[in-house]
Structure 1
Amino acid sequence: MEKDLVADFDAKREVYNSFAKTVSDLLERLLLAKKTSYHSISFRCKARDSLERKVDAKQRYNALEEITDLAGARIITHFSDDVDVVASMVESEFKIDRANSIDKRASLDPDRFGYLSLHYVVSLKREREKLQEYSAFKGMKIEIQIRSILQHTWAEIEHDIGYKSSVEVPRATRRKFSRMAGLLELADQEFVSIRSELQKYEKSVKLEILKNPEKVALDKITYLDFICSDEKCVSMDSEIASACNFKFFEEPKNVAKQLDGLLFFGLRTIEQLKKSLIENEREIMRRAADVTAQLDTSDKPRFVSRGISIFYLSHVLAANSKDPEVIEAFFAARGIGGTKFKEYLLQFAR
Structure 2
Amino acid sequence: MSDKGADYEEVAEPLRNFAPALESLLRELLLSEGIQFHYVRSRVKTKVSTIKKLTKPSKTYTGISDLTDMLGVRIVTYFPDDVDQVAKVIRREFSIDNENSTDKRALLDPDRFGYLSLHYVARLGENRSNLAEYARFTDCTFEIQIRSILQHAWAEIEHDLGYKSSSGIPAEVRRRFSRVAGLLEVADNEFQEIRNYLVRHQQRLEAADRRNWKGVSIDQDAVYAFMRRETVLRQLDRSISKAVGMSLTRPTRTYAAARQGELKSAGFETLKDAKEEIERDAQEIAKFAHAWISDDATPRLWPKGTDVSEMGEFDDPDDGFEVLPSGIGLFYLWLYKCAKGDVQDPPYHEVTLKHLKLTYEGIRSS
TM-score, normalised via structure 2 length? 0.79
Q: Would you say the 8 A contact 2:4–2:54 is kept in 1?
A: no
Partner SS state of residue 140, structure 2: coil
Aligned length: 334
Q: Would you say the 8 A contact 1:322–1:349 is kept in 2?
A: no
Which stretches in structure 2 are left out of the alignment for 5+ residues? Answer: 296-318, 362-366
Distance 1:292 1:48 in 2: 72
One-letter identity of the residue aligned with 1:24: E
Q: Would you say the 8 A contact 2:75–2:146 is kept in 1?
A: yes
Q: Deviations over 1:157-190 (max 9, x none)?
A: 2112221211111011211111221122122222
Q: Deviations over 1:104-161 (max 9, x none)?
A: 0001122210110001111111221222222231210121111112211211121122
Cα offset, 1:85, TM superposition: 0.9
**Aligned equivalent of 2:309:** none
Tell me whether 1:317 sits opposite 2:328 in the alignment.
no
Does the C-alpha gap of structure 1 residues 269 and 67 become closer, same or farther in structure 2, counting only changes over 3 Å?
same
**Aligned equivalent of 2:56:** 57
**Aligned equivalent of 2:264:** 263
One-letter identity of the residue aligned with 1:10: E
Distance 1:198 1:230 in 2: 21
Please give the root-mean-square deviation of Cα atoms over the aligned residues, in Å.
3.2
One-letter identity of the residue aligned with 1:253: T
Cα offset, 1:342, TM superposition: 7.3
Which stretches in structure 1 are left out of the alignment for 5+ residues? Answer: 330-338
Instruction: Give the structure with higher Rg (CA).
Output: 2
Partner SS state of residue 80, structure 2: coil
Does the C-alpha gap of structure 1 residues 206 and 245 become closer, same or farther in structure 2, counting only changes over 3 Å?
closer
Identity of aligned residues (%): 36
Distance 1:323 1:60 in 2: 78
Q: Deviations over 1:60-100 (max 9, x none)?
A: 44444332212222221221111111100110011111122
Q: 1:1-350 to 2 correspondence within 5 Å?
A: 2=2, 5=5, 8-11=7-10, 13-57=12-56, 60-205=60-205, 210-211=210-211, 213-240=213-240, 243-248=245-250, 252-286=253-287, 287=289, 291=293, 295=320, 297=322, 304=325, 306-321=326-341, 326-328=346-348, 345=356, 348-350=359-361
Q: Would you say the 8 A contact 1:129–1:135 is kept in 2?
A: yes
Q: Deviations over 1:220-241 (max 9, x none)?
A: 3322222222111122334556
Q: Would you say the 8 A contact 2:45–2:70 is kept in 1?
A: yes
Q: Would you say the 8 A contact 1:288–1:312 is kept in 2?
A: no
Distance 1:85 1:272 in 2: 42
Partner SS state of residue 105, structure 1: helix
One-letter identity of the residue aligned with 2:215: K
Larger % of helix: which?
1
Does the C-alpha gap of structure 1 residues 165 and 232 become closer, same or farther in structure 2, counting only changes over 3 Å?
same
Q: Would you say the 8 A contact 2:54–2:64 is kept in 1?
A: no
Partner SS state of residue 146, structure 2: strand
